[in-house]
């Protein structure tokens, strides 16, 4: 058995998945940390929901949705239940909101954020994976336009800092129960008249999901939709006012945007405000860093009382692609794994104690192979990006001292062993 295992080729990560090795793993972590800090500043709190849900949770998003129809990883568990790896975050969060009866138990809006993996069986390409990570924020229980502005502002502010490049904010309204169905009918009959000009996929979309035709990249379909009726011209009065108020709010906060009547996002639950944020640093095929919108019917679809909601999801891999090579925040960034290295040529336990004292004092510190030569350890210290090196030689340790060296200036001095952590910390300040 063992023999045959060793002759088979070594296993590889599944198609469409990515290993984030350092320093990319550190860049990903920095994104998550940055998002966490900002979301909390906006009054959002952390929610964790399962990566698997009953398949039904996603089926309720609308079976005409491409993500639901074609891209879900669905399987039967050992008890014969149908489970699905979540393709997006909102459905699970709304399911938890309903399941725990939060509408009556917490002040609304319930403002939460989460960070985690999603799974879609898509054709993998640059910026499009089968397992990918999203930064997600949701505000459930507020119908007013101000919360739309807040949510968009949070996404834009995060990307402004994290992405650093040129961003395009696209805004649209999908209407509501009063005006969306009539518009969809109008749009459908327009498409019926041009059916022969559409690609096969779009022909099939006319019946169940005609607005998705707006998303098709096929030049023939694009030509058809150029002249199609525009939803922003067919909004009911309350939806029109809501959109105006959102745009006024964005103006007040100084965000530049473009109203894009062609913007339909992949998930069908959106009502009223929808938005997408694109990066000029990415190719058109995968330039969406994230997007979101209002889902005023979703809580009800998942079995709750009618409750409005809005949220967004930003794609971590896309942001990393757009910022490839960019320098992350100061501190223990990707290029610098530790601040201090303890170099030991004395033997005994002094190095262990010094390392432990440094770490307890809040300094990121490491050893660099204490059984090796001093020269080899010094080289490793540089490779680890250390700023300070603590050198323990036999003579120093015998006298209860250590040498500390600042690699920036080359300055070196002797300090008491018991003061190593304080001295290094002081020098790093
Ligand atoms: P969505 O959940 O489809 O609204 O997507 C929101 C954001 O998640 C997109 O703008 C992308 O940045 C990211 N995203 C969606 N699908 C994928 C995928 N298959 N691979 C990588 N990122 C994705």
Ligand 1 centroid vs 183 CA: distance in angstroms? 27
Question: Atom of ligand 1 at shortest distance to CA of 265?
Answer: 4
Return the pLDDT at 335: 57
**Tokens of residue 196, six digits:** 């022969």
Tens-digit pLDDT profile for residues 142-170: 999 999 999 999 999 999 999 989 999 99
pTM for this model (two decimals): 0.90
Name the residue of 31, 276, 318, 323 whose CB sits within 8 Å of the most ligand 1 atoms, as the mutation to test its pocket: 318
Report the C-alpha gap between 187 and 205 in whole angstroms.
Answer: 12
Query: Given a cut of 60, is residue 327 above it in pLDDT?
Result: no
Q: Whose CA is nearest to atom 17 of ligand 1?
A: 128
Q: What is the mean pLDDT of the chain?
A: 93
pLDDT of the residue at 286: 85
In 3-state terms, what secondary structure has residue 83?
A: strand
Distance 428 CA to ligand 1 centre (A): 40
Residue nearest to atom 10 of ligand 1 (CA): 290
The encoded tokens of residue 413 equal 């001095």
- Distance (Å) from CA 412 to ligand 1 centroid: 51
With tokens 């502010």, the residue in question is 157
- What one-character DSSP code corresponds to residue 214? G
Secondary structure (3-state) at 339: coil
pLDDT at residue 243 greater than cutoff 80: yes
404 bridge partner residues: 390, 413
> In the prediction, which pLDDT does 336 show?
66
User: What pairs with residue 75 in β-bridges?
Assistant: 83
Q: What does the alpha-carbon distance between residue 92 and residue 311 come to, in Å, rounded to a whole number?
A: 13
The tokens 């530790």 sit on which residue? 338
> How many angstroms separate the alpha carbon of residue 356 from the centre of ligand 1?
42
Question: 314: CA distance to ligand 1 center in Å?
Answer: 7
Is 379's pLDDT higher than 60? Answer: yes
| Residue pair 419/357 in contact by the 8 Å Cβ criterion | no
Protein residues whose CB sits closer than 6 Å to any atom of ligand 1: 88, 120, 122, 127-129, 132, 134, 265-267, 288-291, 313, 315, 317-318
């Amino acid at each position: 058995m063992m023999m045959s295992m060793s002759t088979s080729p070594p296993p590889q990560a599944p198609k469409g998945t990515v290993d984030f090795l350092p320093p990319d793993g550190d860049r990903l972590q920095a994104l998550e940390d940055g998002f966490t800090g900002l979301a909390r500043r906006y009054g959002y709190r952390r929610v964790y929901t399962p990566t698997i849900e009953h398949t039904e949770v996603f089926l309720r998003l609308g079976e005409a949705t491409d993500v639901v129809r074609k891209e879900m990883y669905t399987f039967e568990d050992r008890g014969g239940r149908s489970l699905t790896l979540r393709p997006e975050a909102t459905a699970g969060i709304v399911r938890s909101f309903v399941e725990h009866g939060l509408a009556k138990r917490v002040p609304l809006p319930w403002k939460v954020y989460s960070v985690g993996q999603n799974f879609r069986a898509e054709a993998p390409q640059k910026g499009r994976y089968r397992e990918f990570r999203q930064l997600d924020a949701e505000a459930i229980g507020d119908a007013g336009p101000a919360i739309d502005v807040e949510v968009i502002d949070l996404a834009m502010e995060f990307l402004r800092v994290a992405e650093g490049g040129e961003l395009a904010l696209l805004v649209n309204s999908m209407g509501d129960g009063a005006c969306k169905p009539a518009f969809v009918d109008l749009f459908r009959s327009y498409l019926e008249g041009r059916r022969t000009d559409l690609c096969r996929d779009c022909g099939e979309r006319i019946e169940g999901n005609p607005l998705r035709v707006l998303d098709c990249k096929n030049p023939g379909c694009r030509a058809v939709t150029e002249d199609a009726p525009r939803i922003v011209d067919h909004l009911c009065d309350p939806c029109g006012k809501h959109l105006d108020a959102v745009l006024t709010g964005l103006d007040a906060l100084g965000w530049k945007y473009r109203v894009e009547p062609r913007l339909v996002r992949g998930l069908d639950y959106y009502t009223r405000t929808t938005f997408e944020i694109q990066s000029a640093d990415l190719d058109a095929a995968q330039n969406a860093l994230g997007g979101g919108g209002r889902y005023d019917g979703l809580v009800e679809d998942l079995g709750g009382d009618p409750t409005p909601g809005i949220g967004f999801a930003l794609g971590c891999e896309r942001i990393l692609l757009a910022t490839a090579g960019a320098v992350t925040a100061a501190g223990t960034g990707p290029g610098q794994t530790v601040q201090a290295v303890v170099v030991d040529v004395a033997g005994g336990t002094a190095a262990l104690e010094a390392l432990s004292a440094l770490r307890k004092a809040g300094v990121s510190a490491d050893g660099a192979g204490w059984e090796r030569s001093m020269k080899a350890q010094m080289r490793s210290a540089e490779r680890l990006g250390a700023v300070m090196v603590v050198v323990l030689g036999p003579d120093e340790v015998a006298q209860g001292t250590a040498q500390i060296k600042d690699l920036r200036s080359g300055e070196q001095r002797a300090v008491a062993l018991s003061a190593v952590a304080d001295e290094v910390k002081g020098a790093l300040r």
